């Protein structure tokens, strides 16, 4: 047995062990039960994921609002600029992009 065949065996063995044809009756029952659970419970995950996304977005925007309120800046666009493209609206991203731009311009000029 060579090295490559040993490596191949490591990757192929789990798939051979989980084949439906070679599985014991108990293993087949477990596979069927797992399939039923997955089929019945998948509908709960998209709403939960959406709920988590909305909560995180609300926390992020609330943080931006508090940051703007507690600073003495008159321009709210410095914290969240809706005129910018979708990925560059948040103040943290704007700040990071300005740092990258400044570093690139200083280095190459």
* Confidence (pLDDT) at 8: 84
Of 57, 58, 68, 69, nearest to 91 (Cα)?
68
Tokens read off for 31: 């596979």
Mean pLDDT within 16-34: 82
Domain ranges across the chain: 3-43, 46-108
pLDDT(89) > 70: no
Residue-wise pLDDT tens digits, 46-75 = 999 999 988 887 887 777 777 777 777 777
Contacts of 79 (CB under 8 A, 6+ apart): 64, 67, 68, 73, 91
With a cut of 60, say whether residue 17 has pLDDT above it: yes
């Amino acid at each position: 047995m060579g090295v490559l065949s040993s490596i191949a065996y490591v990757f192929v063995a789990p798939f051979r062990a989980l084949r439906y044809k070679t599985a014991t009756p108990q293993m087949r029952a477990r596979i069927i039960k797992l399939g039923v659970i997955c089929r019945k419970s998948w509908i709960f995950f998209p709403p939960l994921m959406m709920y988590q996304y909305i909560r995180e977005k609300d926390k992020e925007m609330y943080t931006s609002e508090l940051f703007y309120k507690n600073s003495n800046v008159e321009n709210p666009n410095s914290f969240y600029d809706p005129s910018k493209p979708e990925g560059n609206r948040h103040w943290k991203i704007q700040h990071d992009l300005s740092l990258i731009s400044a570093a690139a311009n200083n280095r190459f000029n």
